[in-house]
Structure 1
Amino acid sequence: MPESADLSSLLVDRNLALELVRVTEAAALAASRWIGRGDKNAADGAAVEAMRRAFDTVAITGTVVIGEGEMDEAPMLYIGEKVGLYAKAGGGPEVDIAVDPLEGTSITAKGGPNAIATVALAEKGGFLHAPDIYMDKIAVGPGLPEGVVHLDASPAENLRELAKAKGCEISDLMVCTLDRDRHKELIKACRAAGARITLLGDGDVAGVINVSQPEAGIDIYMGSGGAPEGVLAAAALRCIGGQMQGRLMFEDEDQVARAKSMGIDDPQRIYSIEQMARGNVMFAATGVTSGAMLRGVRRTPGGAYTHSIVMRSKSGTVRYVEGHHNFARKPSAFVA
């Protein structure tokens, strides 16, 4: 009996992982119609609507814990929304869901690189319920001593320890961070230490994941970005390997009070990767525009090509999925 239950659970996991790809494909296909058209809100809205429709076919009872905002701020995929085939009637595995239907709305509007549609799934209670505020983040790839970098250390100290662990010079290291005014001192400190820097216009989920992708050439991610995106990135690194720390950045007491209502009792706490994404986790993403990790949607007469990644923490398996979509035979049902 236990063997049968284990096999059933394994098959459910595998099926869910592939279903998540269908969800991100739908969002990416919808957003791709808005690449370079200068309307980031339309691109985001199309991705959100398509992702929500796609979730309606997935055999889960899911609760969105990282979403587009609160119910009064977002018409769909809001925090607390129930999604999935069994959302109304109940049934199927109960899971928590983190989504960013279009990470890189401005990138998409401008036709720039690295926009992705992404979703993560965890056992119920597995994700940190991060409010929509900034999070200070630091991340490195797999195969390094535990605690090699730390949020409370200076950029120079972290770069020195990382170079030592990798057996290289600081000048060999590539730092990734968002190109923001708030990072001026961080960028200055990294350059003063001798490191090289890649500046992102947007999309720090992909930026964090790149530390685990040798072909991306990124050694460390530093800096602040959205806390919800931090949880998504932590879910990915739980699957693919790496270390990450995050600390919420509060601007006022109202934000502190709101975080406490979501179960966050220590505003100064540094969260480890396991505290942001616990238990069995799945992650999927589909490229909207091409970047270091994924190729973007390529539309053709009557169809499209998509490029996705899907991974599970239980097995550590990472799969890349290339989808060839023939709209003449199977219309893109989730894309309006």
Structure 2
Amino acid sequence: MLPLTLTDDLLQQILGVTGAAALAATPLVGAGDRNAVDGAAVAGMRQAFSRVPIDGVIVVGEGEKDEAPLLHTGERVGTGAGPRVDVAVDPVDGTRLAAENRPGAIAVMSVAPRGSLFDPGPVFYLDKFVTSGAAAGLRLDAPTVDTLHELAARLDRSVTSLRVAIQDRPRNQAYVDAVRSVGASVVSFRDGDVIPALHAAHPRGSIDLLLGIGGAPEGVLTAVAVRALGGIMQARRSPQTPAERGRTHAAGLSTVEVLELADLAAADGYFFLTAVTDVEGLRELGVDDLPGVRRLATGSETVSLLVSPGGGIRRQADVHKRAADADPAGPGRPATRE
């Protein structure tokens, strides 16, 4: 598989796609309607994609799991010219956060060489394990208590000093119990596991380990960033409803097999993130926090992150002109950037 190398100009155009999703969702922030937030972000993202010179295929979209608006799996995006890429998108990770005007809602996307990203098929949830490269060799399918003791030894720290991020859902209670049984700290979060996963994968992140069952789309998106950051990630399919289990069985898919990082993201790619609402706690990753979309006299400002192969993290602010003043590239393309 040929490596994917994108020019700076093309990176900016792709980053404009998550920027367009964040801009489109912003009028609905705080309105209380998660699906309306998603629908607006999908429309903004699709319009912006139509101007980007890539031959892209959506491998992973978000809406099917939530019965919300979506970019369809298999949908072609881009102009059809340019690099042939797989695209994984979540127009808004944290739609509840956006609907309630709380911090942490983001528009997020990963782009990688064609054929390199995992297709979860009919499975909407993955059991996930993310940590930094210092923990190479640890296993999702090992007893959690043993894993925590081994991780502490690898980091030359006490097990009670470990911080483990787990999404606050009943399905993850066994993980919570195991972490608390050894005296480690549970960092609980309600929505959106992308940012906690970045912290877990980064060698200086505030999280030592991310565990638990969460969305499959976010898992594939995250895998691209984890690979770029040199982290460790494993996952296994974890259907959560009888219908989902039936589809998984009918497709002949294993719920026991542990998927390695190379299964989830088989080649280096790029990870794009734009804040819809404020994203805090990023200083350990070497960047300032991201403010949500901000209205200006001449338009709006978005602030984004780009994670490139090799672990480079770029924070970027873009000013988007109002429609009446926009340049010919259209509203999805930043007029100026910081």
* TM more than 0.5: yes
Distance 2:46 2:248 in 1: 26
Q: Report whether the alignment pairs 1:303 with 2:303.
A: no
Distance 2:12 2:57 in 1: 19
User: Cα 1:84–1:170, aligned 2, differ >3 Å: closer, same or farther?
Assistant: same
Task: Identify unmatched segments of 5+ residues in structure 1.
Answer: 1-5
User: Contact 1:132–1:226 (CA<8 Å) still a contact in 2?
Assistant: no
Name 1:159's counterpart in structure 2. 148
| AA in 2 matched with 1:100 | D
Name 1:92's counterpart in structure 2. 82
1:80 to 74, 77, 85: 74
Q: How does 1:1-336 map to 2 (within 5 A)?
A: 10=5, 12-69=6-63, 76-86=70-80, 91-130=81-120, 131-142=122-133, 144-147=134-137, 149-213=138-202, 216-251=205-240, 255=244, 258-259=247-248, 265-291=253-279, 292-293=281-282, 294-295=289-290, 296-313=292-309, 315-327=310-322, 329-330=325-326, 333-334=331-332
Tell me the C-alpha RMSD between the 2 structures: 2.7
How far off is 1:20 after superposition? 2.0
Pick which of 229-238 and 206-215 moved more: 206-215
| AA in 1 matched with 2:197 | V
Distance 1:121 1:41 in 2: 25
Runs of 4+ in 1 over 6 A off after TM superposition: none
User: Contact 1:64–1:83 (CA<8 Å) still a contact in 2?
Assistant: yes
User: Cα 1:303–1:216, aligned 2, differ >3 Å: closer, same or farther?
Assistant: farther
- Secondary structure of 2:28's match? coil
| AA in 1 matched with 2:315 | Y
- Secondary structure of 1:54's match? helix
| AA in 2 matched with 1:113 | P
User: Cα 1:230–1:22, aligned 2, differ >3 Å: closer, same or farther?
Assistant: same
Distance 1:75 1:35 in 2: 16
Distance 2:45 2:270 in 1: 16
Distance 1:31 1:132 in 2: 27
User: Contact 2:303–2:318 (CA<8 Å) still a contact in 1?
Assistant: yes
User: Contact 2:130–2:201 (CA<8 Å) still a contact in 1?
Assistant: no
| AA in 2 matched with 1:67 | G
| AA in 2 matched with 1:207 | P
Distance 1:286 1:100 in 2: 11
Q: Render the CA deviation track for 1:247-279: whole Å, top value 9, x for unaligned.
A: 0013578646745887x7544211111110111
Q: Render the CA deviation track for 1:121-152: whole Å, top value 9, x for unaligned.
A: 1111111101342110011023x0421x3111
TM-score by length of structure 2 reads 0.85
User: Cα 1:324–1:177, aligned 2, differ >3 Å: closer, same or farther?
Assistant: same
How far off is 1:219 after superposition? 1.0
- Secondary structure of 1:305's match? strand
Name 2:285's counterpart in structure 1. none
- Secondary structure of 2:82's match? coil
| AA in 2 matched with 1:183 | N
Distance 1:219 1:137 in 2: 14
Distance 1:316 1:210 in 2: 13
User: Cα 1:306–1:85, aligned 2, differ >3 Å: closer, same or farther?
Assistant: same
